[in-house]
Structure 1
Amino acid sequence: MALALSGLASASAKEPADNAARFGALESIQDVSLSPDGNRLAFIEQGPNRTRRLLVVETAEGAKPRQILTSDGSGGGNLSWCGWVTNARLACQTFVRDNVEGDILAATTIIALDATGGNMRILSNRRSLRSLYADFRGGSVIDWSSSDNGSLLMSRSYVPEGDVRTRIVSRAEGLGVDRVDSVTGAARRVEAANRDARYYLSDGHGNIRIMATQGYLSSTGQFEPTVRFFYRPKDGGGWKPLAQNDVVTDSGFQPDTVDAATNRVYGFQKIDGRMAVVAMALDGTGAVSTIYAHPEVDVDDIMRVGRNGRIVGISYVTDQREAAMTDPGIAKMTGALSKTLGGKQIVIVDASADEGRYLVRAESDIDPGAYYLYTPKARELRPLLVPREPLLDVALSPVKAITYPAADGTMIPGYLTLPPGRSDARGLPAIVMPHGGPSSRDEWGFDWLAQYFAQSGYAVLQPNYRGSSGYGDVWYKNNGFQSWKTALGDVTDGGRWLLSSQGVDAKKLSIVGWSYGGYAALQSGVVAPDLFQAIVAIAPVTDLAQLKAEESKFGGGTINDRFIGSGPHIREGSPAQNAEAIKAPVLMFHGSFDQNVDIAQARTMRRALEGKGKRVELVEYPELAHSLETSEARTDMLRRISAFLPH
C-alpha cells in the first residue's frame, strides 16, 4: 500500500500564534464529498467569522482548488453541506438563523449549481405570498442513486395557500417527496404531501419505502411523543403500518436504512435494555432478525458506503469505538488502512459510484484527523486535506480510559487526559468536564477542549456519569434531569477521586461543562459548594421549570414535560433556584442565537447569582448558536477561561 508524501494543502495556511487560537480554531474543512467518477472533490472551507467557501479540486496530485461559492452567514444564509448530483453538478444545503419577535428561528434551503459555479437553482419549494403560514423546512436529499440525468429524490414541504383574488391555489400540506431536476429545477411528484410526515427513507435505488409520521395533540397543539412508521411493499401500493417509537423512552423500533437486496429495513431497537440493530421484513410478515446486540453497551451506528447506501457494518463504543463489519472486503480494507496509519481509526466518508476510489478520514486521540484518497486497485493511499493544520506540530496528549468509584461503590467510566509528558496528575491543577446531552456520552478520541486544557497544564477528567446514554437503560436511569442527584453525585465523586486517588491540587480543582455539562457544573456548585474552586458553564440549562415553558413554544411541550418530569426535583435540581448555595466564582458563555438552550437560561442564572451577591460573569456572543460556531468566539472563550481558572 503506497502512502504518498504530499497532498492538497489545507485551507488555513497561517498558523495561529498561541494555544487558544490553535485549539479554538474550527476545523477548516466543514464538509467534503467525492464525485461519482472519483476524479474531483468538493469541500466547504471555514473562513474568518462565519464565512464559508465551496471549493472544487481534481483528485490528481498537484491540482489547485477552485472557489465556486462563498457564504457569510448573513441574509443569504451559510453553507452546511454539499454533495455530487453528477460529475458536473452539485447540490448543497444552506441555512440561516434570525431573531423573529424574540424567537430564534432557522430555515434551510437546498440549492444546486454546476461544479464550475454556474447555473444556480433553488431546489426547495418556493414560498407563495398566499401561503397561510411559514414552513422553514427546505427539505432534504433522500436518494442520490438515480442521478445520472441530474435529478434527485427530495423531501419537500408544502404549505396550503389562501384563495384571495384567485382560484388557482395549492391545498397540499406537509412533507412530500418529489423528483427534482437539479439543472432546470422542474419537479415531479413522487409522494403526496402528508401533514404529519417527518421524514422518508428510500431503498437507495429511487424507491420510497418508509414514512415516519408524528402528529399533534389537538388539545394542546404540541407534538405527540410517538413517531409512527409505515412501509410501502416492494411492488408498490399504499402505506402499511410497520412500527412505532416513543421519543422520550426510545422504546419501540426506529428504522434507519432500507436494504433493497433483502427487502428489509435495518434499525434500532432495545434488547435486554440496550440498543441493538435489528432488521424488519417489508413483506407483511412482521419477521424481525437481530443483526447485532452487544452485552454491555448500545449499538449506535449503521455503516453505509456508496451512492446506494450499501450496508457494510455497525459500530458501538466500549472504551473506544469499535466496528463489526458485515462486508468482508470493507473490513479487510479498513483494517489494512488502520495498520498502515499506525492504528488510527478509519472512517469511510464517501466513495466513487463504482467504489474504485474511497474518501477516508483517519483520526485518533492524538491526531485530530486527516482526509485521504484510497484507490484499492493501485493500492495507493494519498493524503488530501488536513482540517486542523494549526495543530500539526503540537504534541497532543494520549487519552486514557479509566474508572473511579462513586459513593455507592458503582464504578464510573470516563477518560483522563494529562498534560504532554506527564504520567500522573499529582500536584496538577485539574478540571472535571461533564459532557452535554444528557442523552449522550463521551468517547475516546480527539477533543479540542480537553486537549487545550491539557496543553495548559491541567489534568482533565471526562466522566460518563449515570444518566449518560450508550450503556443501556440501567445506566441511563430516568435521564440526567429526573435522576440529577445520581448524575451529579457521579460528577462530584469524579472530582473527589482526582483529589484522593490522583493527588491533584485541591486549591486548583475546577469544573467546566457545555450544555447539560454546563448545568452539571452549576448544580455541582449547589450540591458540593466546597469541592470546585471555579465553575465554567457554556450554554447551560439553569432552570428546569423555565426550560419546560420554553420548549412549549415550539411544540415540544408534551415531550419535554415527560422527559424533564414534575415534582420536587424541578426546584431542587435547578441551579438558578439554589444560587445561594454556590460559593465558587462562576463564568458563563452563551450565543444569542442558541436554539438548543435559550440564552435566557444563562441570563436567569446571572440574575440569581447577582441577587445573592455572588461573583458571576456572563459573556454573550451575538448571533451565534449553541456550538459557538466561529473560531474567533471559541478563541476568545478559551482565553477568558484560562484567565479565570486557578492554575
Structure 2
Amino acid sequence: MESMHNRSKGMRLLKGMLLVTMLVLGFNAGAREVPIQDFFKDAEFTALSLSPDGKHMAVTVPQEDRTVLAVLRVADKGVVGKWDFGPDRHFRQVYWVNNDRLLFTVTFKTGRFDFETSKGDMYASNIDGTQRIDIPNGAYYNIVSLTPEDPRTILVERSVETSYLSKLDIYNGRLVTVATAPVEQGSFLVDHERNPRYVWGAMNDGTNVTYRRDGDKWTQVHRSERNGATYRPIGFAGDNRHVYMAKGVDGKPESIVLLDSETREEEQLSSNGTVSPSALLWSSDRKTLLGVQYEDGIPYWDWIARDHPETLAYAGLVKAFPGKAISFLRPSDDGRFLAMRVYSDQQPPEAFLFDRQAGKASFLTGSMEWIKPAEMSQMKPISFKARDGLELHGFVTIPAGSNGKNLPLIINPHGGPHGPRDEWGFNPEVQLLANRGYAVLQVNYRGSGGYGNAFEGLGYRKWGTVMQDDLTDAVKWAVAQGIADPKRVCIYGASYGGYAALMSAVREPDLYQCTVGYVGVYDLDAQRSSDIGDHEAGRNYLKDVYPPTKAERVAQSPAYGVDRLKAPVMLVHGAKDQRVPIKNMNFLIDQMGKVGKQPEVVVVESKEGHGFRDVQNNVNLYTKMLAFFDKHIGPGATSAPAGSP
C-alpha cells in the first residue's frame, strides 16, 4: 500500500513537471517531434519545366552532392532520359528549345548556402540523351529568346567587357554575333521579330544603365548609381511599339509601366509601393503581360490583362488553392497546358498541371511528401518601425499549438546580405526550431533585397552598425508584443547571418542568452580574400558595400569585440568553405582566447563547404544546436541572465 502511494505521488510530481515544461516552452501537448532528418532530406525536385507541346516535363532532382536532370512523360511519369554529371555538379537553367531538345547549364557548387560559380558549361541534348553537344563557356550565356519560328537556333547573350547578342545553333553549337552593346554586364530585349531594341544592366563599377536601339546606334535612356533609380525593359506588347518597363523612381520599389516607344508616354499598370515585383506572368504567345506577383508578406498576383482568356484561367487556379502561393511555369505553346508550383508556409512545393481544354488539374509531383502540413507552424508577416522611423518587414513563426505568448525566441537573420531577403514559404530550419517549441523571428533589415535599390543601399558600409540595430529593434518589438520572453532570446544565422549573430551579441551583450554562427564572417578584412574578389565586378561591389577604412572594418568585425561578449557561443564551419574561408572562425576563436573565453560548442566538417549538404552531418549539427538552445533558453533557463552557463 505504501509503495502504491509513493508511486502515485511520484506520478503526480512527474505530471506536474511535464505541465510546467509545456507551459514554459508553449508546447502543444499533442505535438510530435518530427525527426531532424525529415527537414533536411533531399527534396524530390527543385525545378520543373514543361515541353512546348505539354507532353513531357524536365525535372531537376537534388542528391546530396549533386543535382541530376530527368525527362518524364507527363501521361505516365515514365523516364525518357536522365543526366548526371557527378559530384558538385548541378543542373540549372533548363530550357525546352523545342519538343525534342533541351538546353541546360551544369554549374559547380560545393556548399548548401553557396551560389553556383561559372565553373560549368552549357549542353544541348535530345530528350532521350542522344546527340548531346558541349557548348564551350556556355555557363556564361543567358537565354534571350527561344525563337520558336526557328527550332534549330536560339538567341543568347554574354558579357565580356561589352555585351554580345548571338544566335546559337543548338545542334552543332555554332555562334553568330547579332549585335553588341556598350554595357559591361548587359541583358538584351528583342521584339517579336527578334530585333534587338533595348539593352540594360550594370557597369563593373555598379552603375545602372539602359540603352535604346535607334537605327544602328545605342542611345542611353537611363543611368544611375548602384543603389539608385531603375528603368529596365521586360518585354514587348504584341504591336512591337509598346514596351513593358520596370521603373523604380529614386531607387524606390519598382512599378510596371507601359511605354509608347514612339511618343515616350507611359501608362502605369501595376505597383505595390512596398516591394518590387517578384515574378511576371506572360500569355502563351509572350505578347501580353497578364499579371505581376508581389511578395509583400504572403505572395499575391495583381492581374493586369483581366479580360484575357488565359488570365481568367490563371486567376481561377489561384482561387482553387486558398491559403497557398502559386508560381506559374511556362505554359505549352498553344496555351492549353498550364504548369504551376504550389506551396505555403506549412507545405513544401508541389507541382500541378492544368488542362484548360478538359478543365482539370492533375498532380505531377511533390517535393517533400513526407512532411505533414498539419504538424508545421504558421509563418506570419509582420512590420514595425526601427528606432529611426524606417519601416521594416519580416516574419514570425509561432510553434503550432502554443498560445503565442512569452516564448523562447530565436532571431534568424538571413544571409547575403544585399539582394537576398526572407520570404513567406516552407523553411526547413524555421520549421524544425518551431517544432521544438521556439518562436522564430526573421526580419528584412535595411540592405535586404526586394524593397527597392534605395532600401538596399541603406545597408551599404553599415554591416556592423544600423543593420544590427534593426535586429535589436526586431527583438524589442517581439518582446513588446508579448511574443518573446526577454530573458530567453538567442540569435542564430548563417553566412552573413552568422556574422550578424556574433556582431549583434557583441553590440547587445545583455539582450541574448546565446549566439550561433554558421559559416559566418567574423573578420571583414579576412573576407576580402574570398572568391568574391576574383573578378572586377566583385571587387567593386566590396568597395561599395564594405566599410572603407581599416579602423571601420575592425570596429565592425565581431572578432575584435569579443571582450564585450557575454553570451555562450556555438560555431559551425565547413573546412572546404571558399565563400567564407574557415580562417574567419579560427581567428575568432583565437581572439576569444586572448580575453580568456572560448566557444562552448564547435562543429567542423572536413568535407563540407559553405553550408552542410550531407544528411547525417545536418542531423549531427542540428542535434547539437537544439541541445545548445535547450540549455540556454529551454526548460529551466527562464531566469538565466545573458552569458550564464
Give the TM-score normalised by structure 2.
0.81
SS in 2 for 1:583: coil
Structure-1 separation of matches of 2:170 and 2:132: 9
User: What is the RMSD of the two structures over their aligned residues, measured on CA atoms?
Assistant: 3.4
Residue number in structure 2 paired with 1:422 = 402
Once structures 1 and 2 are overlaid, which stretch shifts more, 321-330 or 199-208? 199-208
Structure 1 position 436 matched with structure 2 position 415: yes
Q: Where in structure 2 are the equivalents of 1:627-642 lying within 5 Å?
A: 628=612, 631=615, 633-642=617-626
Using the TM superposition, give the Cα deviation of residue 50 of structure 1 relative to its aligned residue in structure 2, in angstroms. Answer: 1.6
Q: 2:282 aligns with which of 277, 296, 304?
A: 304
Q: Where in structure 2 are the equivalents of 1:135-146 lying within 5 Å?
A: 137-146=139-148
One-letter code aligned to 1:581: R
Residue number in structure 2 paired with 1:89 = 101
Structure 1 position 586 matched with structure 2 position 565: no
Q: 1:57 aligns with which of 33, 47, 72?
A: 72
Using the TM superposition, give the Cα deviation of residue 277 of structure 1 relative to its aligned residue in structure 2, in angstroms. Answer: 2.5
Tell me if structure 2 keeps the 8 A contact 1:143–1:205: no
Structure 1 position 367 matched with structure 2 position 347: yes
Using the TM superposition, give the Cα deviation of residue 479 of structure 1 relative to its aligned residue in structure 2, in angstroms. Answer: 1.0
One-letter code aligned to 1:346: I
Structure-2 separation of matches of 1:193 and 1:253: 17
Structure 1 position 230 matched with structure 2 position 219: no
Residue number in structure 2 paired with 1:561 = 543
SS in 1 for 2:490: strand
Residue number in structure 2 paired with 1:154 = 156
Q: For residues 115-171 of structure 1, what are the alpha-carbon distances to aligned partners after superposition, in whole Å with 9 as ceiling and x for unaligned?
A: 11111111345xxxxxxxxxx85312221133653322222577xxxxxxxxxxxxx
Give the paired residue count: 588
SS in 2 for 1:382: strand
Tell me if structure 2 keeps the 8 A contact 1:480–1:487: no
One-letter code aligned to 2:73: E
Q: For residues 595-633 of structure 1, what are the alpha-carbon distances to aligned partners after superposition, in whole Å with 9 as ceiling and x for unaligned?
A: 654544344333333433333255445675646555555
Normalized per residue, the structure richer in helix is 2
Residue number in structure 1 paired with 2:555 = 572
Residue number in structure 2 paired with 1:9 = none
Tell me if structure 1 keeps the 8 A contact 2:250–2:454: no
One-letter code aligned to 2:91: L
One-letter code aligned to 1:445: G
Once structures 1 and 2 are overlaid, which stretch shifts more, 238-247 or 499-508? 499-508
Q: 2:223 aligns with which of 244, 248, 251?
A: 244
Using the TM superposition, give the Cα deviation of residue 210 of structure 1 relative to its aligned residue in structure 2, in angstroms. Answer: 2.6
Structure-2 separation of matches of 1:577 and 1:226: 33
One-letter code aligned to 1:584: A
Tell me if structure 2 keeps the 8 A contact 1:279–1:290: yes
Q: 2:120 aligns with which of 87, 90, 108?
A: 108
SS in 1 for 2:253: strand
Tell me if structure 1 keeps the 8 A contact 2:269–2:304: no
Give the TM-score normalised by structure 1.
0.81
Structure-2 separation of matches of 1:631 and 1:310: 44
Tell me if structure 2 keeps the 8 A contact 1:123–1:180: no
SS in 1 for 2:254: strand
Structure-2 separation of matches of 1:425 and 1:114: 57
Residue number in structure 2 paired with 1:30 = 46
Residue number in structure 1 paired with 2:597 = 614
Q: Cα distance 1:481–1:434, how it changes in 2: closer, same or farther (>3 A)?
A: farther
Residue number in structure 2 paired with 1:479 = 459
One-letter code aligned to 1:228: V
Tell me if structure 2 keeps the 8 A contact 1:585–1:614: no
One-letter code aligned to 2:598: R
Q: Cα distance 1:283–1:341, how it changes in 2: closer, same or farther (>3 A)?
A: closer
Q: Cα distance 1:274–1:174, how it changes in 2: closer, same or farther (>3 A)?
A: closer
Using the TM superposition, give the Cα deviation of residue 525 of structure 1 relative to its aligned residue in structure 2, in angstroms. Answer: 0.7
Structure-2 separation of matches of 1:313 and 1:256: 13
SS in 2 for 1:491: helix
Using the TM superposition, give the Cα deviation of residue 641 of structure 1 relative to its aligned residue in structure 2, in angstroms. Answer: 1.7
Residue number in structure 2 paired with 1:314 = 292
Residue number in structure 1 paired with 2:7 = none
Identity %: 25
Structure-2 separation of matches of 1:198 and 1:106: 17
Q: Where in structure 2 are the equivalents of 1:394-405 lying within 5 Å?
A: 395-403=375-383
Tell me if structure 2 keeps the 8 A contact 1:89–1:150: no
Residue number in structure 1 paired with 2:304 = 326
One-letter code aligned to 1:63: K
Using the TM superposition, give the Cα deviation of residue 457 of structure 1 relative to its aligned residue in structure 2, in angstroms. Answer: 1.4
Once structures 1 and 2 are overlaid, which stretch shifts more, 512-521 or 398-407? 398-407
Q: Cα distance 1:602–1:256, how it changes in 2: closer, same or farther (>3 A)?
A: farther
Q: For residues 206-249 of structure 1, what are the alpha-carbon distances to aligned partners after superposition, in whole Å with 9 as ceiling and x for unaligned?
A: 3333334655xxxxxxx32214332324xx533332323422x1
Residue number in structure 1 paired with 2:436 = 456
One-letter code aligned to 1:314: V
Q: 2:357 aligns with which of 377, 392, 414?
A: 377
Q: Cα distance 1:139–1:468, how it changes in 2: closer, same or farther (>3 A)?
A: closer
Tell me if structure 2 keeps the 8 A contact 1:144–1:204: no
Structure-2 separation of matches of 1:598 and 1:254: 36
SS in 2 for 1:211: strand
Q: Cα distance 1:509–1:243, how it changes in 2: closer, same or farther (>3 A)?
A: same
Residue number in structure 2 paired with 1:605 = 588
Q: Cα distance 1:621–1:106, how it changes in 2: closer, same or farther (>3 A)?
A: farther
Structure 1 position 71 matched with structure 2 position 85: yes
Using the TM superposition, give the Cα deviation of residue 63 of structure 1 relative to its aligned residue in structure 2, in angstroms. Answer: 3.5
Displaced runs of 4 or more, over 6 A: 408-411
Structure-2 separation of matches of 1:245 and 1:583: 44
Tell me if structure 1 keeps the 8 A contact 2:461–2:548: no
Using the TM superposition, give the Cα deviation of residue 264 of structure 1 relative to its aligned residue in structure 2, in angstroms. Answer: 4.2
Q: For residues 11-47 of structure 1, what are the alpha-carbon distances to aligned partners after superposition, in whole Å with 9 as ceiling and x for unaligned?
A: xxxxxx9632111224321221100001111111112
Tell me if structure 2 keeps the 8 A contact 1:212–1:230: yes
Tell me if structure 2 keeps the 8 A contact 1:110–1:140: no
Tell me if structure 1 keeps the 8 A contact 2:464–2:557: no
Q: Cα distance 1:214–1:405, how it changes in 2: closer, same or farther (>3 A)?
A: closer
